[in-house]
């Protein structure tokens, strides 16, 4: 079965339905308002309400209540882990075809409701309509792709031959049991992919979503339950990572953790979860994503690719370009053109049709931006550098000129702050990249194939692009561009949206029968 990405906006535009896209999105903005200002329970087979609550505020204005969620207690977490453990074998024994069909059905259900989910993401984490729809599309892609991978690999059961006369052997991949998913705020699709992978192959999953997107995550779990995933095999627990997450990743019933977030938190979980015994650890821990622009580039293409990558979704993508290394002969003209292009990117309410960059996700990010900018000399600010005088958590897209500050050039900021720096050669640029502790995404702009080949061969980065105008280091597509971090950007060297992803959640059993 060929895999086809959802690509809603592109397909609707190509078919002459662009205006319908905007109409449907704007209608959904009104439809989903009925989901706001409601209390949502934890889902541990039954609905569970806790003593302590979390109040979910929209970054669009800093005050709209999108919902009240539960701060999960230790007792609820422990009960959830026990329930999930006791039930996983029954889910696995349902068979790989049945599980795959449930996920294909869920993907179709989400496709029918895609505008609602996109609208919620605009309210919840500040994405413009194009980014929000792309996020939902990627969720649909993950579910379909993983289901198809499970089918095409026949449930990961392979006959392995006869070592001794009269013996028949096979390899059977089986689930570990309970997998805890601790997901980030920036991509609904990352949450969905982290849930779908271990679940479709037969594990039970407990989702502890980011406190910045609990609503879309809740609605996704509801949808999977409606599609046929048993409630005891897919549990939703909201709350803080430090309180809820630790109670779960140290729990003896939890056999593995899938985490996307910061390096420091990822390494903390990696160490603490395995204090007693080894557990499956699949982590993606961010990056310091760098684009190289050589003197042999198409400079307009490079400017657009760098800016779109740096400032799309307020620089809050794991793959966002936060550092650009520019060869000296074109440095001055590049930065002039970069400022000109960036000045045309609208920072505004993401519900508006023409908005490119919305708010940062929460007050903490808003304050962090201001704290970072206090450390930057005024003469180093080429563009931006200030907060926007409007309700909500809006800041200016910011370009910094050769700051030579490791806290800017080496640290992942997760903000719309781009540092640019001159280099003498491509070789120097690649050396600079390889000295970074991160290795998630990157890109090069050059019209010289030898330069591209050199970069691809030598850059110690998991995802690399050449001459990508739509985003020089961003925009990996499920099935075509596995998303994988090297070095401190990840722990497995296997990418999401890849044919290597699902086996990480399975353990091999070699079975041999002696014929009589």
**Annotated catalytic residue within 131, 318, 409, 412:** 318
Tally: H helices and E strands in the chain: 16, 21
Q: Closest by alpha carbon to 262, among 316, 310, 220, 307?
A: 316
Q: Helix or strand or coil: residue 242?
A: helix
Rounded CA gap, 476 and 145, in Å? Answer: 14
Which entry of 116, 284, 396, 409 is annotated as an active-site residue?
A: 284
Rounded to an integer, what distance in angstroms lies between the CA atom of residue 216 and that of residue 467?
Answer: 34
Active site residue 297: no
Report the residue count for the chain.
Answer: 516
Provide the β-strand partners of residue 513: 168
Q: In what order do the strands lie in the sheet with 204-208?
A: 46-48, 42-44, 234-236, 204-208, 178-182, 254-260, 280-284
Question: Which of these, 288, 337, 295, lies nearest to 315 by C-alpha position?
Answer: 288
- Locate tokens 């539960």: which residue? 70
Distance of CA 380 to CAs 69, 314, 325, 375, 384, Å? 43, 20, 16, 11, 11
DSSP 429-442: HHHHHHTSSEESEE
Is 318 tagged catalytic?
yes
Active site residues: 284, 318
């Amino acid at each position: 079965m060929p895999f086809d990405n959802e690509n809603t906006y592109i397909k609707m535009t190509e078919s002459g339905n662009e205006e319908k896209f905007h109409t449907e999105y704007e209608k959904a903005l009104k439809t989903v308002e009925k989901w706001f200002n409601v209390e949502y329970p934890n889902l541990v087979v039954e609905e569970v309400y806790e003593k302590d609550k979390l109040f979910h505020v929209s970054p669009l204005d800093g005050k709209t209540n999108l919902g009240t969620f539960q701060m999960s207690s230790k007792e609820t977490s422990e009960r959830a882990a026990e329930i999930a453990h006791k039930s996983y074998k029954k889910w696995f024994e349902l068979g790989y075809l049945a599980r795959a069909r449930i996920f294909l059905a869920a993907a179709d259900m989400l496709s029918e409701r895609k505008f609602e989910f996109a609208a919620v993401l605009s309210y919840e984490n500040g994405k413009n309509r194009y980014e929000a729809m792309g996020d939902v599309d990627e969720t649909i892609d993950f579910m379909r792709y993983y289901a198809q991978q499970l089918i095409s690999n026949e449930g990961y059961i392979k006959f392995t031959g006869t070592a001794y006369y009269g013996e028949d052997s096979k390899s059977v991949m089986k689930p570990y049991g309970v997998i805890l998913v601790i997901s980030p705020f920036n991509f609904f699709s990352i949450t969905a992919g982290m849930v779908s992978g271990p679940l479709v192959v037969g594990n039970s999953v407990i989702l502890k979503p980011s406190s910045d997107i609990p609503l879309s995550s809740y609605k996704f779990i509801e949808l999977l339950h409606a599609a046929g995933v048993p409630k005891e095999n897919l549990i939703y627990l909201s709350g803080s990572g430090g309180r809820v997450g630790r109670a779960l990743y140290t729990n003896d019933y939890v056999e593995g953790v899938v985490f996307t977030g910061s390096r420091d938190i990822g390494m903390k979980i990696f160490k603490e979860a395995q204090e007693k015994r080894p557990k499956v650890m699949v982590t993606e821990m961010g990056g310091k994503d760098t684009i190289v622009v050589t003197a042999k580039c198409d400079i307009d293409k490079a400017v657009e690719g760098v800016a779109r990558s740096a400032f799309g979704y307020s620089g809050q993508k794991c793959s966002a370009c936060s550092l650009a290394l520019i060869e000296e002969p074109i440095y001055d003209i590049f930065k002039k053109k970069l400022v000109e292009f960036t000045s045309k990117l609208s920072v505004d309410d993401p519900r508006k049709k023409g908005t490119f960059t919305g708010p940062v996700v929460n007050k903490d990010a808003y304050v962090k931006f201001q704290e970072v900018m206090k450390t930057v000399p005024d003469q180093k600010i080429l563009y931006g550098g200030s907060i926007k005088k409007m309700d909500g958590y809006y800041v200016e897209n910011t370009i910094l000129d050769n700051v030579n500050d490791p806290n800017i050039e080496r640290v992942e900021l997760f903000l719309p702050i781009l540092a640019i720096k001159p280099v003498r050669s491509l070789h120097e640029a690649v050396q600079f990249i390889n000295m970074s502790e991160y290795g998630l995404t990157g890109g090069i702009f050059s019209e010289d194939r030898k330069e591209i080949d050199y970069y691809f061969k030598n850059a110690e980065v998991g995802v690399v692009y050449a001459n990508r105008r739509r985003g020089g280091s961003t925009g990996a597509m499920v099935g075509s561009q596995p998303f994988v971090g090297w070095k401190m950007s990840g722990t497995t060297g296997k990418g999401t949206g890849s044919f290597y992803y699902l086996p990480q959640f399975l353990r091999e059993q070699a079975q041999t029968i002696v014929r009589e």
